[in-house]
Amino acid sequence: MTEKHVIKPGQSLELLKELHILTRDGKLNQDSRRKLKQVNHLYQFIEPLLKEVQQDHPGITLVDHGAGKSYLGFILYDLFFKYQDDGSHIFGIETREELVEKSRALAVRLQFAGMSFLNLSVAESIDSDALPEKVDVVTALHACDTATDDAIMFALKKKARFVVLVPCCQAEVAAVLRKNKAAVGASNSLSEIWRHPLHTREFGSLVTNVLRCLQLEAHGYQVNVTELVGWEHSMKNELIIASYKDLPRRRPSEKRHEVLHSLGLEEMDRRFFVI
C-alpha cells in the first residue's frame, strides 16, 4: 500500500514526521505504516461521535487518558479539531513527565492551541482542578492495568456523553478468580472455565471487560463492543464505545451483581461500582 493511500487528505505531514510516523523525507516504514493505519482506523469510529456532540453545542471537550506520546490526541486534533474555531479542547493525561513535556512542545510548534497535557495518573485526574467539571468525550487507548477502570470512573463523574476504550491488561480479576477458585469450584462446575492458569488469565481479561460494559450500562449508557481491524499484531484489539442514552439501569445493575456473585468476585464490587 502506498503512502498516499494511508495518509488521509489534509493530514499534516509535519505532524506525522514529528511523531516519527513519517521519516524526514516523507516515507513510511512497515511499523509506522501499521501504527498510522491503526490510529486512523480508530479515528473513523470517533469522528461521528464528535460530530454528534457538535450538533448539540459548539466547543467539544475531549480527555485522552494514558496518552503516552499522544498519537491519538494529535491525530484527532489534526484531522478534526484544527478546523474548529469554537473553543474545542483536547486534554492529554500522562504520568511520564518527559512525554508530557514533549507533547506540550510539539503542540506549540504546530500551533495546536486547543491542546493541553497534564502530568497526572488517570486516578489523579478524577479530582484534578485542572480539568473541567464536565467533558464530552473520554478516550483511553491501552491504558494499562486498572487505568481503564479509572478512566471509566472519570467519565462517569464528568458525565461524559461518549466513552471510547481499547482496554489493556488488567490482572486484578484473574487474581481474585485464582484466589477463590477452590471455594467457587466446590459448588459451581463453571469454574472449570478458569481451572487452568492460562484460562484464568484469559477468562479474567474477558470478565473484566464484561463487567466494564455492565457498569457503563448500569449508568445509562448504550454499549457497543467491536474489534479493531488492523491490530492483528496485538491481542488487545477490543474496542468498547459507550454512548450516554439515559437507558434503564436496573437490569444491567442486577446482571453485574449476578456475575460478581456467581464467579466469587464479590470483593470486586467497588472496582466496578454502580451509583
The architecture of the domain spanning 1-168 is 3-Layer(aba) Sandwich (3.40)
Domain parsing of the chain, residue ranges: 1-168, 170-220+241-275
Tell me how far apart the alpha carbons of residues 150 and 140 are, in angstroms, rounded to a whole number: 10
Residue 105: helix, strand or coil by DSSP? helix
Residue 32 is predicted with a pLDDT of: 76
pLDDT tens-digit profile of 15-39?
A: 988 888 888 777 887 777 777 887 7
Please give the pLDDT value at position 127: 96
What is the separation of C-alpha 161 from the centre of its chain, rounded to a whole number of angstroms? 14
Whole-number Cα distances in Å, 183 to 167, 179, 240: 29, 9, 32
Task: Retrieve residue 101's grid coordinates.
Answer: 513535556
Q: What is the pLDDT of residue 6?
A: 73
**In the prediction, which pLDDT does 182 show?**
83
Q: pTM, whole model, 2 decimals?
A: 0.92
At residue 155, the pLDDT reads 98
Contact 190, 143 (CB under 8 A): no
For residues 215 and 148, is the Cβ–Cβ distance under 8 A? no
Secondary structure of 224-240 as H, E, C letters: EEEECCCCCCCCCCEEE
The pLDDT, as a whole number, for residue 158 is 97
Q: Which amino acid is at 168?
A: C
* Stated length of the chain: 275
Under-50 pLDDT residues of the chain:
1, 233
| Residue 3 DSSP SS3 | helix
Q: Edge-to-edge, what's the strand order for the sheet holding 162-166?
A: 115-119, 89-94, 61-65, 137-141, 162-166, 238-244, 221-227
